[in-house]
């Protein structure tokens, strides 16, 4: 019998009872062909690969991360709670050393879901990786996490959630936002005052293939991870960079995904996007599973795979090299950039316009981050949507000093009555208030 070199836990939740619409890319059968491929290849028979059931996340798990308007029960379905629970289960298995690695093959996805949630954005309502991380941090307080988002779309939600958190390094490489939803993910999106330099975006040109992705990994991502030294590496494992994906413009392959996973060597992978449900996902997921298990993935190829046809043009190769150099140099120079952009200021303000494309909701935000020399600083969101809600949300960070804790509670207590709802996340004491 074949034996895995790394004990691997697989958490599978296809959510066959949930979809946005019958014809939507994120629909019920999205993981059906993956399920068939896994069993056809006999993955369940490999010693050291074990299937686990997800748990169900609860409201408190969601409230640690999001401000759901008006509340969690109104915005979040049971399928979303189980998807997040699948990710939590993956993290638990690794931390409890029941497995060496874990892969949450779950849907609905989550990396576009931001701190404020009015509805579905980019097929996402709650950010399952963020919910997973903050749940585990209740037991492992000082956990140093790196998230590497390989989805073709910029992980704008994950970026927003960990914008001010230097204990969560976020690296996203994705198709350039000038050519693809959500239109974000550029070099200057570098983090808030408490996490400045720990949010890194690598925008890649359409047509990038294996050579480009692996170059970015080897020359930017891995050197930064080596310097950052995270306790845990999470792959936000979107698969819509594939050459057959119907809504993107990249040329990555199943073999490339497997090789990337092998080199990245994440502790946990969580499925995000990927909408070529027959031509890509079964082969990509198989490659990732084999790579995480430490098994041979060299024979994993799509039926129509043609290496020559997918060869990356020289102009794209040169462009990727230039982008990589810019990002890595910014990382190395983050202290000087902090002095230039942050030092001497009391607050950093961030104005944002957020479009919930699935639900057709427009949101206008003003975020304020206190620049505190003792902690990450209390921060607030003044948010108004065209659904009629006008909210004020306050976050007291995990490392908050006594002054920032007091300021957070004072802001909550004396918030103007012009707001329809006021929320407070006290991450020091794991408390959530709403009025």
Cβ contacts of 432 within 8 Å, gap of 6 or more: 60, 63, 64, 423, 424, 425, 426
Output the six-digit token pair for 424.
Answer: 């407070």
Handedness of CA 220, 223, 227, 233 (dihedral sign): positive
51 forms beta bridges with 10
Longest dimension (CA), the chain: 67
Residue 401 near residue 374 (C-beta atoms within 8 A): yes
In residues, how long is the chain? 435
> CA-CA distance, 341 to 330, in Å (whole number)?
13
Enumerate the β-bridge partners of residue 347.
370
Nearby residues of 193 by Cβ (< 8 Å), 6 or more positions away:
164, 342, 345, 348, 369, 370, 371, 372, 376, 377
54, 114, 169, 283 from 132: Cα distances, Å? 12, 14, 15, 26
CA separation for the pair 430, 187 (Å, rounded)? 33
Task: Give CA–CA dist 257/410, Å, rounded.
Answer: 49
Q: Which helix (H) or strand (E) holds 362?
A: strand 361-370
Give the integer Cα–Cα distance in Å for 264 and 267: 9
Angle, helices 314-332 vs 334-341, to 10°: value is: 70
Spell out the residues 6+ positions from residue 322 whose beta carbon is closer than 8 angstroms to its own.
none
Residue 43: how many other CB atoms lie within 10 Å: 21
Per-residue CA distances from 55 to 76, 93, 192, 198, 418 (Å)? 16, 12, 33, 31, 39
Structure tokens at 332: 């190395």
User: Helix, strand or coil for residue 59?
Assistant: helix
Residues 68-79: b if buried by 16+ CB within 10 A, e if exposed: bbeebeebbeeb
What does R_g of the chain's alpha carbons equal in angstroms?
Answer: 21
Which residue is catalytic, options 112, 153, 154, 242? 112
Does the annotation mark 80 as catalytic?
A: no
Which are the catalytic amino acids? 112
């Amino acid at each position: 019998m074949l034996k895995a070199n790394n004990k691997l836990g697989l958490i599978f939740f296809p959510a066959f009872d949930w979809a946005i619409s019958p014809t939507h890319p994120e629909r019920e059968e999205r993981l059906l062909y993956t399920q068939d491929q896994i069993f056809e290849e006999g993955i369940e028979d490999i010693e050291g690969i074990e299937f686990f059931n997800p748990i169900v996340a609860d409201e408190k798990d969601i409230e640690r991360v999001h401000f759901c308007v008006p509340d969690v029960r109104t915005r979040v379905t049971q399928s979303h709670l189980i998807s997040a629970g699948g990710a939590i289960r993956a993290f638990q298995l690794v931390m409890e050393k029941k497995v060496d690695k874990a892969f949450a093959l779950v849907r609905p996805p989550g990396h576009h879901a931001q701190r404020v949630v009015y509805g579905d954005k980019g097929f996402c309502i709650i950010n399952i990786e963020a919910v997973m991380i903050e749940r585990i941090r209740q037991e492992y307080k000082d956990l140093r996490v790196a998230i590497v988002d390989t989805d073709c779309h910029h992980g704008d939600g994950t970026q927003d959630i960990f914008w001010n958190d230097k204990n969560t390094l976020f690296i996203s490489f994705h198709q350039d936002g000038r050519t693809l939803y959500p239109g974000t993910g550029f070099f200057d999106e570098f983090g808030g005052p408490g996490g400045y330099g720990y949010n890194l975006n690598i925008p890649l040109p359409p047509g990038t293939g294996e050579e480009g992705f692996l170059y970015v990994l080897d020359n930017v991502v891995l050197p930064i991870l080596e310097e950052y030294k995270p306790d845990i590496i999470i792959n936000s494992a979107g698969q819509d960079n594939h050459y057959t994906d119907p809504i993107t413009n990249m040329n990555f392959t199943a073999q490339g995904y497997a090789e990337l996973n092998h080199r990245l060597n994440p502790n946990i992978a969580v499925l995000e996007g990927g909408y070529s449900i027959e031509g890509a996902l079964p082969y990509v997921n198989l490659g990732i599973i084999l790579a995480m298990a430490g098994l041979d993935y060299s024979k994993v190829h799509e039926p129509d795979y043609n290496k020559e046809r997918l060869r990356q043009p020289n102009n794209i190769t040169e462009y990727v090299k230039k982008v990589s150099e810019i990002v890595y140099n910014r990382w190395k120079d983050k202290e000087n950039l902090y002095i230039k952009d942050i030092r001497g200021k009391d607050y950093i303000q961030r104005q944002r316009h957020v479009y919930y494309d699935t639900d057709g909701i427009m949101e206008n935000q003003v975020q304020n981050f206190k620049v505190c020399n003792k902690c990450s600083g209390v921060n607030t969101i003044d948010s108004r949507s065209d659904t009629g809600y006008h909210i004020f949300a306050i976050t007291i960070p995990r490392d908050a000093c006594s002054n920032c804790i007091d300021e957070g509670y004072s802001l909550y207590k004396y918030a103007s009555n012009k707001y329809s709802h006021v929320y407070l996340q006290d991450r020091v004491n794991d408390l959530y208030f709403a009025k």
